[in-house]
Amino acid sequence: MHLLVKGIKHPLTGEVLVPNSKYHAHRALILASLADGESRVHGLSDARHVEYTVQLLRGLGVKITRDGDTFVVHGLGGRYKPRRAAVSAGSSGTTLYFMIGLASLSDRDVAVTGQKYFRRRPVGPLLRALEQMGVGVESADDCPPIQVTGRRPAGGHVTIAGTLSQWISGLILLAPFATGHTTIEVQGELNERTYLELTVAMMRQFGLEVTVSDDWRRFDIEPNQEAHPVELTLPPDIGSAAFGVAAAALHPSDVLLRGITSLEGGPADHPEFHFLDIARAMGVPMEVDESAGGVRIQQDRPMLKGVDIDCRDVPDMLPILSTLGTFAYGESVFRNIAHTRLKESDRAAAMLQLNAMGGELELTSDTLRVRGVGGLVGAKLSSFNDHRVLMSLAIASSRASGHSTLTYPNAYRISYPTFLDAMNTLGVPMSVEEGAGAVGKAKPRRLEREVAKPELAAGVTLPEWLRRRAEARPHDTAVVDVRSDHDEIVTWGELAERVERTAALLLDLGVKPGENVAYQLPNRVEFVVLSLAALRVGAVCCPVIPFFREREVGFVLRRSKARVLVVADEYRARRPADEVIGLSDEDRAAVEHVLVLSATGGPAVLPDAGTTGLTVRDFDAALAATEVDRAALDAVVPTPDMTAQLLFTSGTTGEPKGVTQPTGNLVRAASMEIKHLGLGARDAIWVPSPLAHQTGFLYGMVLATVLGVPQIVQSDWDAGRALQSLNQHGATFVQAATPFLSDLVKAVEESGETPRNLRIFVATGAQVPRGLAERAGRLLGADVCGAFGTTETCLGALSAPGDEPGERWGSDGRALDGIELRITDDAGRVLPAGEEGNFELHSPTVFSGYLDRPDLTAEVFTEDGWYRTGDLATIDASGFLRITGRVKDVVNRGGEKIPVAEVEQLLFGHPAVEDVAIVAMPDERLGERACAFVVFRDGATLEFGEMQRYLDEHQVAKQYWPERLEPVDALPRNPIGKVQKFELRAQARGLRPHDAL
């Protein structure tokens, strides 16, 4: 993979939010961990290096949580309690240098290590200084891992080279907790003094005293000090803002860098603040725009001039200053740069790549000279996995003719995760692409030409997609079945064999093309096998949501007339197979064969069929006894126009409706998403959503099969286990309801582990709360994309990673290629952009119709053939959709639409209930929960628990139960007697579920 940057000639416009300072964040988190009590650090830094500090501190026993945009740190009073024998600094030099010595404050020995390549980072001078302070440290080669003895240092007279300020800061941070007085003297050249000033300033905020000489070369620190908890706010990060400044400086621009409210400051405000002075000296026209809350750069023609700079106080700025110097008149001289060559890479040498683009840079051991040139040409460049080199060369490439590619394209996430978003927002096109840059790796597998061409893809059936995979790559992973105690991995060859055997079993049971096969299974490999097997014999997949109980299952069986039903012997605390036997004769009138799948892997626990006349068999035993009749299988040739799927809606306005979809629609929908998002052969699809739901079935199982990549399924939702499996199996993409996103973010916050490969999270079912989307982007390192879809239409709208962040997750997406969206008034007139009205769409993936209900099918289509979604929405001038409400009163609980009318009717039947209305109650995690407003009969009452027991007795799925019961004297009604639910929804905004009280 590589970062593709296209040279531009147009002006840059727009605004970007400057992230919070990672330098302050490192120090604040570490000092808060040393305090005795709770500290609150406002303004989260989304830099991955800061996350490494958080993870390492958690490994030392420090509780760090997030409350909105605030770090909440429960300090241990200068005594760490390691949870394990080793803690990792990841790839953060700051974390490593600060924490080697501080690890000695642990109550047992601990090793400090880092990522694989980071274990070559030399720290010998720091180790010698720590030994002078009385810290026990051991290393085989003066590089990580370093074994640190768990005892407080004795203090003493310590000398350290002034090469890197982080070494000195690490000593200063530790010294107050020594048992004796500490004097630290800096020898040789002192670099990065501003960073030391920041360290001391923040220590004083936490009540720690440090005496500093005028020349900042001697530090005297008294022993046995105690840090006090504080509340502080992180300032904006000048190091990240520098790239926005540089981009605006190189092009005609009107750019606002929001968050920087002053151009006057000092080291205590930010150690790199001097960069702003340098940029102004070079001619960058920066002015504070108080009304907009930021610094504005506005110019018609860039006019930069060369400068002569001592880099000792701005060491991290050398790469971006080199870029600015390349386009300045005259010569820029950057002196005292030797220590910058000891960073993540030799940064001075790395920037010499500008010469290959037409630049003029000359490097000596301690000076870099840059002569301005008129222009550059695109080139293939290396970032050396250095975030600042990557971003600086990318900015330079924006002024080159043609395009440039850079290796290690995701390195920017280390310090500035929103860099790509920021540059694209301003008008600098940058994107991560497949191709050159994967040095030493095998050439990526190419996709078949049909995969990302929906019209062609729709002509290939799912069994044919499976056959292709099994023949071309039989040993590659097809399905990962994540269990609580192990993972089952199934290859394409194994999957194809199991599908053929299961298809043969279905033929033995008399299943004919076009017949519905029902199955109620959790997310297990058997679900995938059974679905593809049904399609292999031309049958229709009729999956049933696992949490459905007798009431819902009976309805599905009655309407589908399925003769074959597959269920689990146990699901959570229930026994679905027993429940089927207990159904009425009417509900299971068509059922002849019940196959029972064991939940544990052993023989299935079979229910007593009694006098039902049902044939009940162990699913696995039936498979083992099946002989594959190849001639019989080959005689069945499914076609793309055959019905492939029967899914029952949640019955939002009455009884559930059976939605039928042909194979061609499902494959086309998957291909449309692949094309829209740029999914490729290196992706892996995580499927936390129920496979029995359209989201999991289509955008999990079908998508992975068409794309030919692994699908990772998990039967019992556990966010911690999911996070572990995401990393173990390299998941890159997921489409799921908002609660899964919320739970995953919470798991990352609690564990400190982050998804290492996840790129895209498409959130469906309910719009993602803004705060959650922003937090998810920071913590997961993935692009959160909004979307709209229904069982009847598949996805109609979807945003993409390249969209501006506010549009990407703040909208419900834009039309996929081949789909049309419109907003109409009640008379059917199309409304202009921005006006709210009835949302309708026209798509080649609209369903065939509702099972046996042509009347209901006709109702959802306009006279000119557009599908009525039943939602209110707006579409802006850029084509982004925003759902604003629902025409019908629906409660959308984390993507599951609650059949309000049905539950209301049941509650009406309770003897204590005179009147009832159920409306949505806003919920941060699920989007909405149901609140029942109840008017009691004279003298009667109904407690919340009684209501739950009543619905349980009527076999209503728990997910459909109201989660609050609110007594009222009367329901608000209009003059003709209709309940005014908008008034009830307004009342419900301030309410919470009963279990949260």
pLDDT digits 0-9 by tens, 855-873: 999 999 999 999 999 888 8
Tokens standing for residue 206: 């936490």
Residue 145 sits in the same domain as residue 170 = yes
CA proximity to 724, closest of 423, 434, 483: 483
**Rounded CA gap, 683 and 669, in Å?**
18
**Rounded CA gap, 142 and 850, in Å?**
70
**Rounded CA gap, 644 and 662, in Å?**
5
CA proximity to 856, closest of 561, 649, 642, 643: 649
In a domain, 150, yes or no: yes
Residue 124 sits in the same domain as residue 241 = no
From residue 667, alpha-carbon distances to 92, 354, 519, 693 in Å are 44, 46, 21, 16
CA angle 544-549-551, nearest 5°?
100
pLDDT at 750: 84
The residue-averaged pLDDT of 377-386 equals 88
Which residues are CB-contacts of 409 (< 8 A; sequence separation ≥ 6)?
Answer: 1, 2, 3, 383, 390, 432, 433, 437
* Least reliable range by pLDDT among 360-369, 453-462, 703-712, 971-980: 971-980
**Rounded CA gap, 415 and 49, in Å?**
6
Pairing, β 294-299 against β 253-258: antiparallel
Tokens standing for residue 744: 């995953």
The answer to whether 114 and 87 are in contact (CB under 8 A) is: no
Residue 161 sits in the same domain as residue 268 = no
Give the 3-state secondary structure of residue 248: helix
pLDDT digits 0-9 by tens, 476-510: 899 999 987 678 889 999 999 999 999 999 999 99
pLDDT at 369: 95
Which residue would you say has higher pLDDT here, 214 or 738?
A: 214
Residue 11 sits in the same domain as residue 56 = no
829 is in an annotated binding site: no
Residue 151 sits in the same domain as residue 296 = no
The residue-averaged pLDDT of 336-357 equals 81
Give the 3-state secondary structure of residue 296: strand
939: left (phi over 0), alpha (psi -120 to 50) or beta: left
Residue 223 sits in the same domain as residue 314 = no
Q: In terms of pTM, does the model score above 0.75?
A: no
371 is in an annotated binding site: no
Tokens standing for residue 570: 């146990």
The answer to whether 934 and 915 are in contact (CB under 8 A) is: yes
- Mean pLDDT (the chain) is 89
Q: Which residues participate in catalysis according to the annotation?
A: 316
CATH number at residue 972: 3.30.300.30
Give the 3-state secondary structure of residue 232: strand
Pairing, β 63-67 against β 70-76: antiparallel
346 is in an annotated binding site: no
Rg of the chain taking only CA atoms, in angstroms: 32
The residue-averaged pLDDT of 202-220 equals 96
Residue 227 sits in the same domain as residue 276 = no
Tokens standing for residue 510: 């008399």
**Rounded CA gap, 690 and 544, in Å?**
10
Residue 245 sits in the same domain as residue 339 = yes
Neighbour tally for 573: CB within 10 Å: 5
**pLDDT band of 534, cuts 50, 70, 90:** very high
SS3 of 156-188: EEEEEECCCHHHHHHHHHHHHHCCCCEEEEEEC
**pLDDT band of 365, cuts 50, 70, 90:** confident
From residue 367, alpha-carbon distances to 318, 344, 348, 551 in Å are 11, 19, 9, 79
The answer to whether 895 and 695 are in contact (CB under 8 A) is: yes
In a domain, 935, yes or no: yes
Residue 903 confidence (pLDDT) above 90: no
In a domain, 743, yes or no: no
The residue-averaged pLDDT of 772-788 equals 86
Of 179, 198, 233, the last residue of a domain is: 233
Instruction: Give the H/E segment covering residue 250.
Output: helix 238-250
CA angle 529-535-541, nearest 5°?
80
CATH number at residue 212: 3.65.10.10
Instruction: Name the one residue in this structure whose structure tokens are 């806003």.
Output: 922
Residue 222 sits in the same domain as residue 245 = no
Angle between helices 124-132 and 165-174 (to 10 degrees): 30
Residue 904 confidence (pLDDT) above 60: yes
In a domain, 296, yes or no: yes
CA angle 316-321-325, nearest 5°?
160
pLDDT digits 0-9 by tens, 258-305: 988 887 765 446 677 789 999 999 999 999 998 999 999 999 989 899
In a domain, 333, yes or no: yes
Of 413, 433, 453, the last residue of a domain is: 433
The answer to whether 959 and 898 are in contact (CB under 8 A) is: yes
**pLDDT band of 114, cuts 50, 70, 90:** confident
The answer to whether 826 and 840 are in contact (CB under 8 A) is: no
The residue-averaged pLDDT of 299-315 equals 88
In a domain, 790, yes or no: no
pLDDT at 440: 29
316 is in an annotated binding site: yes
**Torsion from C-alpha of 245, 247, 250, 254, nearest 10 degrees:** -70
Handedness of CA 912, 914, 920, 924 (dihedral sign): negative
Angle between helices 419-426 and 238-250 (to 10 degrees): 30
The answer to whether 645 and 661 are in contact (CB under 8 A) is: yes
Number of domains in the chain: 3
Name the residue range of residue 425's domain: 2-17+236-433
pLDDT digits 0-9 by tens, 552-591: 999 999 999 999 999 999 998 899 999 999 999 999 989 9
Instruction: Name the one residue in this structure whose structure tokens are 């996430």.
Output: 413
Residue 414 sits in the same domain as residue 267 = yes
* Least reliable range by pLDDT among 152-156, 315-319, 729-733: 315-319
Residue 511 gets which letter from DSSP?
A: -
* pLDDT above 70: percentage of residues in the chain: 94
Residue 12 sits in the same domain as residue 152 = no
Tell me whether the omega of the peptide bond preceding residue 145 falls within 30 degrees of 0, making it cis: yes
388 is in an annotated binding site: yes
**pLDDT band of 891, cuts 50, 70, 90:** confident
Residue 275 one-letter amino acid: F
Give the 3-state secondary structure of residue 639: coil
Residue 975 gets which letter from DSSP?
A: T
675 is in an annotated binding site: no
569 is in an annotated binding site: no
Of 233, 268, 295, the last residue of a domain is: 233
343 is in an annotated binding site: yes
Residue 77 one-letter amino acid: G
**Rounded CA gap, 301 and 252, in Å?**
5
Tokens standing for residue 482: 């994540």
Residue 671 confidence (pLDDT) above 70: yes
Which neighbouring-strand residues pair with 935?
915
Give the 3-state secondary structure of residue 478: strand
Residue 187 sits in the same domain as residue 328 = no
Report H helices in 509-612. Answer: 525-536, 550-560, 576-581
**Rounded CA gap, 383 and 405, in Å?**
10
In a domain, 811, yes or no: no
Neighbour tally for 747: CB within 10 Å: 22
Angle between helices 770-780 and 738-751 (to 10 degrees): 50
39 is in an annotated binding site: no
The residue-averaged pLDDT of 922-931 equals 90
347 is in an annotated binding site: yes
In a domain, 37, yes or no: yes
